[in-house]
Structure 1
Amino acid sequence: MSEPTRSEQTDILARYRGRLQLTRVVMGLERFVRCFWPLLTVLMTGFALLSFGVQALFAGGVFLLPALGLAAFVALIWGIWRVRIPTMEEAVSRLDTQGVGQALATLTDTPATGSTGIWEAHLRRTRMRADRLRPPAPDLRVARRDPWALRLIAAVAFIAALFFARGDVLDGGFPPDGSSAVAAGPVYEAWATPPGYTGTPTIYLTERQDDAFTIPLPEGSIITLRTYGEGFSLSQSVQSAEIDLQLAAPGLYDATFPVAQAGEVSLERGGAELVRWRFTVGEDAAPTISFGEDVGRGTGGVLEVPFEARDDFEVVAGAVTITLRPEAADRRHGLTVDPVARDAIVLDLPLPPRAGAEISDMLVQDLSQHPFAALPVSLRLEAVDGAGQSGRSDVLDIDLPRRSFFDPLARAIVEQRRDLFWNPNANARRVGQLLRAISHQPADLTAPPDTFLTLRDIVEMLETSAADGLSEEELEEIAEELWTLALAIEDGELADAAARLRRAQERLQQALEDGASDEEIAELMEELREAMRDYMEQMAEALRNDPNAQPQDGEQSGEGMQMSQQDIQDMLDRIEELSREGRTEEAQRLLEQLQQMMENMQMTLNQQGQGQGEPQEGDGEGDGEGQGRQGQVEDSMREQQDLADRTFEELQRQFRERQGGAPLLGQEPGEGLEGLAETQDALRDLLDSLEDGLGSEALEEAERNMADAAEALRQDDGRRALDEQAEAMENLREGLRQIEEGANSGEASDAERQGDAPDSESERADARDPLGRPVGNGQALEGGSDVVPEAGPLGSMQDLLDEIRRRSGEMDRTAEERNYLRDLLDRF
């Protein structure tokens, strides 16, 4: 190939001139940076040093500016000596590096020999590659030439000087009078820090000097002012004390002082004012706190204290103080003596981690065991803010709540515990005597096992300790024992769901009679609901597990149970509503109806378990006329029970219709209360025919109850009808007992006339029934003193019935034995 001339090369590369010129600029910029970065570093460093007034920090600072000038001059000469302007050939070579095959250099070549056509084709392909070439991006990296990163340090100092330096670069190096002494420029900074509890951020004080502009600060804010250099003076009117700048380091002065009042802060240098700030101080008022609504007793006898607190910034703490008011107590019995002095109760109020300026919350605390429980007390709330200021509420007088005790024995023990706390030494003898009197005849009281043994041990402990004076530790121990015993008596150890239900009903009935508060009624209603749910679940489990207890119509049984649960809940809600409205008599009547209904459900379950209509052993014509009439009376009682159930179902249906509810699935339309009156009349006529020759006053009273029930049904008064039907059932049971007693007394007379029974009868007398009692002559079911002994392990008729019910529900017993037990329940 022959080398083209320069003019020929220029003509060939004319179409790429723009790209080549841009490449030369890129190369020139790269060479400039590589040659003059020391000069830029020196200039940025000098600007930062002069801006921050470094020349005033040491004695030789007067030579700083000449030194910087000399360093800049040397860097400039070094850069000029090193820099070179890029040539066209260098640009072509640099641009060729952006592609492959050195396209631009190839275009400037000429072939020495060979085919012209082949060369032209090669040039066309090369031009296509050259057309795709683009100028390179500048490479300004100088890290290899600056291993210590001095350029970066200078850049950071330069930027810091632009934003933070207060000096004047032109004037800061020399004083205005042209003297050789170098003074620092007016370099300073200041900020105000509000108290942390305000949540207000730190305020950076600028060079604002507007006379109309004031800066509001919270009370207790701290101002910090810092100057760099000499000759500054501080004046202020926000603090009564004199405040001066203090030397913190060579050339560094600062001052820190609180803002106590509105005023001004100014900074001067050399008699000239540099800056002035005006401040106003916002007053931090003391917090306020007050009681919310419904302060008093909560569920379970806990103390509930709703409160509301407010502050300018934040409430950081709060407490309630409870003080005894002995002058307001009912000073009778154990409270006649003067009480011992006791410290007030102080409880911290619940506050969130970041309470804020407004708080609305409630303190819930169980103080049932405290000596002040059930006594008059005074409550006062107190709130504290971040500044330590406190605010108090008005005094509220209440009786300190305590858990309610409805069992008389438990209530008496708790009252004696209160008297013992009132004045231990003065009341110890009296409390011991009363507790001994309570436990004098334990057989007359119903309580868990070992209750009275425990009570007597506590009395002995009290009397022994009181002989030498009760210490605080002994008093606490005895009080804890009395409280534990009262809880055991009150809660009891009930055996099954039926006993818990009966206990809950009795407690609610007693509370209604005593006019208990709405809170106590609500608590007892909740207890009754839980006991009712347990009882219904137990009945449903018995129906599922006992094949002898299944009714013949399974579908009807399931729906009836579901209907009863829903109606029970409606009745419970109605009882609670009546008690809240103050209609306690109506609530008591409705509760009695509920009790009667639950008894009917228990009887129905027992009858289903026996298998209605099946002949029982010993029944038949050979039993005699007396036993035949007895069986007819029993049939009348069952039919009366069935009629009472139908009456109640009709009331349920009417109740649902009045409430706008739909009847349950599968429920037939009711026949109406008037339709049931005819059935009631038929039962009364049947009982009237059975009375001839029996002479039972109870059966005569049952007949009158049936007549009154029929009249109530005709008047569409279902509630009165249910009451009369329940009385009729009770009188029928009493009539059966009278008939059995008469029959047994006659048999006893015959036995006396006939003398002793043969040996076979003695053997039969040794036989025992499932309850472990002697069967005797086979008449154990017909009454007599052996049926219900006057004394024994079970103690009373109610305990005996409860034990029979429990055993009749044990599935591990045989079906014959369970039928026998249910027959006992049906008879008694």
Structure 2
Amino acid sequence: MEWERAARAFWPLATMLAVLFAVVWLNLVEEISPELLPWVTGAALILLVVTAIRGGLRYRRVRRREVVERLDRTLPGRPLAALSDRAAIGGEGALWQAHLAQMSRSAAQARAVKPDAGLSRRDPFALRLAGLVALVMALIFGGISDMDRGLSAIAATANRPGTGDAKPIGPSWEGWAEPPAYTRRPTIYLNAQPEGELLELPKGTTLSFRLYDDSTGVSQDIGTAIAADDPKAPTFRAEESGVISVGDRRFEVTVLPDEVPVIRAGAAPVRRADGRMVQDYEAEDDHGVMAATATISLDLPQIDRRYGLAADPEPRADVELALPIPRRADRRDISGQLVQDLSRHPWANLPVTLTLTATDGIEQTGTAEPMQTILPGRRFFQPLAAALIEMRRDLLWSRENADRSAEILRAVTWQPEGFVDQQLYLQLRGAVTILESGEISEKARDEMAEALWQAAIQLEDGGLADALQRMRQAQEKLSEAIRNGASPDEIQRLMDELKEATDAYTRMLAEQNERDPSERFTRDQERQMITGDQIQEMMDEIQRLMNEGRMAEAQELLEQFNRMMENLQVTQGDGDGDGIEMPGQGGAMGRLADSLREQQRLSDDAFRDMQEQFGNGEMGQPSTNSDEMAERQRQLREELGQQRGLLPGQGSDSGDRAGDQLDEAGRAMEDAEQALRDGDMSGAMQRQADAIESMRESMRALGEMMQGQQGDQEGGAQEDPNGQRALDRNDRPGGNRRGGGQQGQPNRPITHDPLGRESAGADGNVQGGGEEIGGAMDPARRARDLLDEIRRRSAERQRPEDERDYLGRLLDRF
């Protein structure tokens, strides 16, 4: 009730204060002409006094009797009033006592009355809400410097010329130094600068003054003046060091030159398995790199000018590629990677010159030393496909090669039976007709180049591209079925389709190199070897997880399987047909390193957000980016939980230590997420730092485990008769151990599954750290798996609250 009466009495005063604060904080005072400003200021003060007096007269304190009456009106029968009554006749007999008892029971149901000031009736035009909106806008977009200028403008009107003999109050001038926006430096209020302090400003800083006294002037020798409509508001731009004199103040100014950005190329560009070019680069600038480009030009002197390249090339513009620049990182020192597919460009696999250029905020450019290299592009090994690509290059080089290309096409299509597909033969004969018809247009040349490219792809890959597409579609269908909770029969049918499509793809991939599908494949990017048997084991592991109802883990393993098959290639072996291991530790370490980098980036973003809050005077308040960063933290925590469940080496000391550190990192991430939602940037950064340190400790433990495994493998090395150190076949990592079993046991090939665990092969049991999966499992290992699953599920926010509470109690107990 106290609040209600205060709100009713003083809401006009609060609204007036909010509006006046917004006007001053946003420096809207400058929008009022100097002639009207004194009148507006006086009227505002009078209105404030009137509303304050009116509120004080209307406000009265709440009495106890009014409180009891207000509460009594909310209860049936007015029990509080009845309890204070006295019987008029008949005395206080049994009936009266029963009445009091009934009223006491009714009074016991009393609850606090919700306040209702009734402001909507007293303020039908919602003026209080307009004042609140103005206050919020001022807090978001205003600042101390704007408020200082607004108050100074009001103070300057107190003694304008002709208003009397009173002495002027406040400064006779004000000045501001605003650095260029790209420097991200704050505006400097010159009046607040200490006397005699050197003023260091970036080149291009705009200095603006407002003079309130006719006797005050500005003199400077640091730059050219900027035309201004008001002679009492001189403005100029800092271009060189010098002195500024205004009134009785003198500023020594040092103009900081804007350094030219520096950019460096990494090693020569490399070719990925899919033919894409990958180029690393680093760039730096004193105020930040705004843009960077890579220019590729033909290095004509380095080209072997024979055959189709003997003619002069037709003019072709240099290739301009925009280098990717991190959006939220510190652009003063950046590193990045350009990934671009230039396989179809006429200069692919020819000598070129690569030049990197970086640009800063004032359009200064820095250029790296030109690099002479071969432009990466797809390579073709099938003879006819390579010939078609060479003719395509010659046509794009110069249309003068049309006759020569027609002759070559006639040669390769002579006696096509058993050599060239009938449909492709008809297409190539049609191309011969076009080439021999006379001068071809640029459009016709480009269309023919595209047709030759597609024909070469079909010859090189055969049905491989179609097989890959069928495998991708089967993977997507199975993944969608798992996510949507399809029936077991439907999932089994889709799993069978995936196995069939995968077998067809690996068989066709091996046939291209005349290899058996059970021999070795390689994942080109990581140079890790995997056998066809290991591919089958990975699919069997996915099948097992689905049969056990562990759909989330099956989905994660299926995604890893998809990524692995995308980069699969056949590679030549060492002649014995043995497979080499594809350790899961390398992949786990890489994924953990990616998560660590993402956590570091998130921590940097939180630090920058806290700096912005400090600069705006909003420390401790949730920022507009808090929810976004909290969501990123949640996603990162869930991803870390998935990595925890697939961590290799479980059961070993180093593996368990790595898992414990990841658990600690997950708890720190959860605390950081809550701190971000609460706007506690300092607490969030502290827990993020704890998570980063725990992840680093986990990576160290994984590294120790991998080194130990490598040492065990190298321990099986032996000297060959010629003194050269070699690996025994039975001890080769991932090799088939034939004849190396214990006495009385059958010889079984020992391989490694995609998670880095040894597999006995024949009995279907997959081993890791001496414990079996698929056969009899060690109880301690089973308990650890159950505990990991409980941790993972308890971290999923989408689960019901009751279930997560139950899982939390299990974790507390066990």
Please, what TM-score do these two structures have when normalized by structure 1?
Answer: 0.44
Q: Compare CA radii of gyration and give the structure with the larger one.
A: 1
Higher helix share: 1
